[in-house]
Amino acid sequence: MSVHKAITLHAQKQNQVFTEFSFLDQQREGYIQKAIELCKAGKDFTTDQINEVTVQINVLANQRLIPTRKLVTPEMVRVYAESLK
């Protein structure tokens, strides 16, 4: 395989991983926003969906040079929601 083809394949794979990361990161942010809204309204919420996506992001991060994300606790959501008042 020529160097050019190898570089092209590598770039395509990196782009695919970054595209997946971007999708998951947007999904995670949506789940965080939903949890914040529920918390502010005094309703029950969980961080399960947030953390499921976070684990998927961190698996990708272990494969490539993309940033990891922290798992989110309900307390983290409560503190942030309080700061918005």
pLDDT attached to residue 6:
82
**Which own/partner pairs from 81-84 qualify as long-range (CB within 8 Å, at least 24 positions apart)?**
81/36, 81/39, 81/40, 84/36, 84/40
Q: What is the pTM of this model?
A: 0.79
Cβ burial, residue 54 (10 Å; 0-12/13-18/19+): buried
Taking the domains of the chain in order of start, what are their residue ranges?
A: 3-83
Instruction: Tell me if 51 sits within 8 A of 24, measured CB to CB.
Output: no
Average pLDDT, the chain: 91
Asked if the model's pLDDT at residue 10 lies above 80, the reply is: no
Instruction: Specify whether the CB–CB gap between 56 and 66 falls below 8 A.
Output: no
Give residue-wise pLDDT tens across range 49-84: 999 999 999 998 887 678 889 999 999 999 999 999
Q: How confident is the model at residue 24 (pLDDT cuts 50, 70, 90)?
A: very high
